[in-house]
Chains A and B, each alone.
Chain A
Amino acid sequence: VTTASPVDAEVLAPPRSERSAALLGLALGVAFLVCFVTGIVSHLIQDPPSWFTWPPRPAGLYRVTQGVHVTTGLVCIPLLVAKLWVVHPKLFERPTVRPLAHAVERVALLPLVGGATFLLLSGLGNVNIVRPYPFGFRDGHLAAAWITMGALVVHVAAKWAQTRPHLTLHPDPDAQDVPDVQGALVEVVEAGAAVAVAEGALDRRGFLAAVAGTSGLVALLTVGQAFEPLRSLAVLAPRRPDIGPQGFPVNRTAASVGLTQVDLVAYRLVVDGPGAATPLQLTYDDLRAMDQHEAELPIACVEGWSTSQRWRGVRVRDLVAAAGGEGGRPLTVISMQDSERLKTSEVNEAQADDPELLLALEVGGEVLHADHGFPARLIGPNRPGVQQTKWVARIEVA
C-alpha cells in the first residue's frame, strides 16, 4: 500500500468513493430512464389507450426504440454491479437507521436495488426464454419498472445534496469518500485529500474507464442482433438476424401452433366486419391474382432482435376497398393460431391507410416459410413483431 501526496489525490483517488458512486449513479439513472421510456412506449403500442396513436412512420422507429431498450438493459448489468460494489460497504454501516430521511432512503433501497436487479435479470432471462416466476413477463417487468423508478426518485431526492458536489468537473476536496471495509485496497487517510491505493491497482479514473469499457464490450457483443452490420460480433446475443428459415429468426414456430401443413384448398381469407359493406372470402389463388406490391420493411421483435426484409403481397387497404370498406378504418387481424395473446392484432387508422401495410405472401423472393406465417402474414411499417400477425385468416374492418 502506498500513500499519495495531496497533489496526487485526484490521480490516485480510490475506486470506492462518493464521486465514483455519483458518476455511476448518474450513468445508471440515465440508462434506466432510457429503458423506462422505451419500455413504456412498447407497452403503449401493444395495449394502446384511447389517447395514444402509434404512427406508421418512420418505418424503423420501433426497431430503434426496442433495440435501444434491450441493449441498454444489457449494458446496465456491469454498470449496476460496479455501482453496488462501490457502495457495498454502506450495507454494513451502523447504526443501520439514523434520522427519518436516512430511514426513508434505506427502506427505499430494497425496491431500488431489488427492483433494478429483477428488471435486468428478468429482461436477460426473457430474451433467453427463462421465466422462472408464476406471472407473465410483461406484467412483472412493467410493474418492477414503475416500482424501481419510484424508488429511484426517492433515492435521488434523499441523496441529491450529498451527490451533487461530486458531479462537477472539480469536486469538492472536502467531500467524504466511502471507507472500504476490506481496508487494504483503499484507505482514506484524510477525507478526500490524500488516499492510499494498492500499488499498481486501478485508481478511480482507471476503475470508471474499465466499467465504461466493460459496458461497451457488452454492447458490442449483443447489439448485432438489432444492428445488422455488427451481427458477426453478436456472440452473446440469443438471436442472430441472419439465422433462421429464409435467413431470419422467428419467435413462434409453425410446429408450436400446429400449422406446419395448411390446407390451401380449404384456406379462405375473410374480410368482413361492420366497416365492410361487401364481405369477402378469398382463396390463396385469389390473393395471388390480386395486384402485388413490394416493400422493404423491418421486422422488430420485442425481445430486441430485428432484421430488414423484402416483402411482397397484397396491400391491406386494397383488400378493405374490395370488401366495400373505407380507407383509414381500424382493423383487427385474426390468425389461425389459438394463442390468446398472438391470435389477434390491432391496426390503427393511420397504419391501416399506409400503402406499405401488406398481407405478405412472399419474403426475399420466395413463398413464405410456414414459420414465417404461410400462407399469409401481416407486415407493416413501425409495428412490433408481435403485431405482425402470422397465418392470417381474417381481417375485421371496424
Chain B
Amino acid sequence: MAWGAWLFVEATSPGDLLALGVAVVVSDLLVDWLVLPVVVLAGWLVSRHLPPWLRAPAQVALMATGAVLLVGWLPLRGSARSVGNPTVQPVDYGPAIAVTLAVVWSVAGVWAAWRRWSSRA
C-alpha cells in the first residue's frame, strides 16, 4: 500500500495524494451507502412482495439489469460526446440496451411461467 502511495507521490504531488484518498473514500461510501442499499431494498421487495414462482426469475433478471445499467450507464448518457471523436461510443446505446434487457426479461418471463405451470401441475 505504501509502495502505491509512494509511486503516486513521485509521479504527481502530495496534494494529488489527498485527492486520491478522497476518491477512494468516496468510492467506499458510494458502494456501501448508495449502491448496496438499493440492491438490498430490491432484494427485500422481491422476496417479500412477489409470488414465490416469480421470485427467483425476478432476482436473476434484476441482477442482470443492474449489471447492464451499471456498465452501460456512461455510454447511454453519451459521456464521450464532447471529446469530438465519433469513434468513441459510436452506436446508439439506448435501443441496444433496451433490446438486451428485453431479452433478459423475456427469458425470465418464460422461466417464471414454467415455474408457475410446474407448481400447479
Interface residues of A in 102-153 (CB under 8 A from B): 110-111, 113-115, 117-118, 121-122, 124-125, 128-130, 133-136, 139-140, 142-147, 150-151
Give bound CA distance, A84 to B93, whole Å.
28
Asked if A100 is at the interface of the complex by the 8 Å CB criterion, the answer is: no
Neighbour of A182 across the interface among B20, B27, B40, B83, CB < 8 A: B40
Neighbour of A235 across the interface among B79, B88, B93, CB < 8 A: B93
Beyond A84-B31, A200-B53, A253-B85, 17 extra complex contacts between A and B, CB < 8 Å: A77-B70, A81-B67, A91-B32, A113-B31, A129-B79, A135-B12, A140-B8, A143-B8, A150-B2, A185-B44, A198-B47, A213-B60, A217-B68, A236-B93, A243-B91, A249-B90, A250-B87
Closest to A245 in B: B87
Closest to B75 in A: A238
Asked if A317 is at the interface of the complex by the 8 Å CB criterion, the answer is: no
A240 B68 Cβ-Cβ under 8 A: no
Chain A hits for B115, CB < 8 A? 200
The B contact surface, by secondary structure, is helix
Give bound CA distance, A82 to B26, whole Å.
19
Q: Could you pull out 22 A-B pairs where Cβ atoms are within 8 angstroms?
A: A78-B66, A78-B67, A114-B27, A117-B28, A121-B27, A128-B74, A135-B8, A140-B23, A146-B4, A182-B40, A201-B52, A201-B59, A206-B60, A210-B59, A215-B67, A236-B68, A236-B72, A236-B97, A239-B88, A243-B90, A251-B85, A256-B84
Asked if B43 is at the interface of the complex by the 8 Å CB criterion, the answer is: yes
Asked if A347 is at the interface of the complex by the 8 Å CB criterion, the answer is: no
Contact A143 B7, CB 8 Å, known A200-B54, A240-B91: yes
B68 A135 Cβ-Cβ under 8 A: no
Give bound CA distance, A115 to B25, whole Å.
8
Asked if A218 is at the interface of the complex by the 8 Å CB criterion, the answer is: yes
Neighbour of A146 across the interface among B1, B31, B44, B86, CB < 8 A: B1
Output the least CB separation between B75 and chain A (Å): 6
Chain A hits for B7, CB < 8 A? 139, 142-143, 146
A144 B89 Cβ-Cβ under 8 A: no
Neighbour of A239 across the interface among B30, B43, B67, B87, CB < 8 A: B87
> A293-309: contact bitstring with B at CB < 8 Å (1 yes, 0 no)?
00000000000000000
Chain B hits for A145, CB < 8 A? 4
Closest to B70 in A: A77
Chain A hits for B31, CB < 8 A? 80-81, 84, 113, 117
Closest to A248 in B: B87
Select the residue from A128, A221, A249 with max chain B CB neighbours within 10 A: A128
Neighbour of B4 across the interface among A122, A143, A217, CB < 8 A: A143
Chain A hits for B63, CB < 8 A? 78, 82, 210-211, 214
Output the least CB separation between B8 and chain A (Å): 3
Asked if A202 is at the interface of the complex by the 8 Å CB criterion, the answer is: yes
Asked if B113 is at the interface of the complex by the 8 Å CB criterion, the answer is: no
Closest to B53 in A: A200
Give bound CA distance, A84 to B33, whole Å.
11
Interface size on A, residues (CB 8 A): 72
- B-side residues, CB < 8 A to A, are 1-5, 7-8, 11-12, 16, 19-20, 23-28, 30-32, 35-36, 39-40, 43-44, 46-48, 51-56, 59-60, 63-64, 66-68, 70-72, 74-75, 79-80, 83-91, 93, 96-97, 99-100, 104, 115
A-B contact count (CB 8 A): 219
Output the least CB separation between B95 and chain A (Å): 9
Asked if A266 is at the interface of the complex by the 8 Å CB criterion, the answer is: no
Contact A139 B12, CB 8 Å, known A125-B74, A200-B51: yes
> A165-208: contact bitstring with B at CB < 8 Å (1 yes, 0 no)?
00000000000000000101100000000000011111000110
A117 B100 Cβ-Cβ under 8 A: no
A114 B40 Cβ-Cβ under 8 A: no
Select the residue from B91, B97, B99 with max chain A CB neighbours within 10 A: B91
Asked if A88 is at the interface of the complex by the 8 Å CB criterion, the answer is: yes
Output the least CB separation between B113 and chain A (Å): 14
A200 B55 Cβ-Cβ under 8 A: yes
Neighbour of A144 across the interface among B20, B48, B83, B91, CB < 8 A: B20
Chain A hits for B93, CB < 8 A? 235-236
Closest to B50 in A: A200
Contact A217 B64, CB 8 Å, known A84-B32, A88-B36, A201-B59: yes
Give bound CA distance, A84 to B80, whole Å.
30
Asked if A244 is at the interface of the complex by the 8 Å CB criterion, the answer is: yes
Give bound CA distance, A18 to B2, whole Å.
30
Q: Which 5 A-B pairs have the closest CB atoms?
A: A146-B4, A200-B52, A114-B28, A143-B8, A150-B1
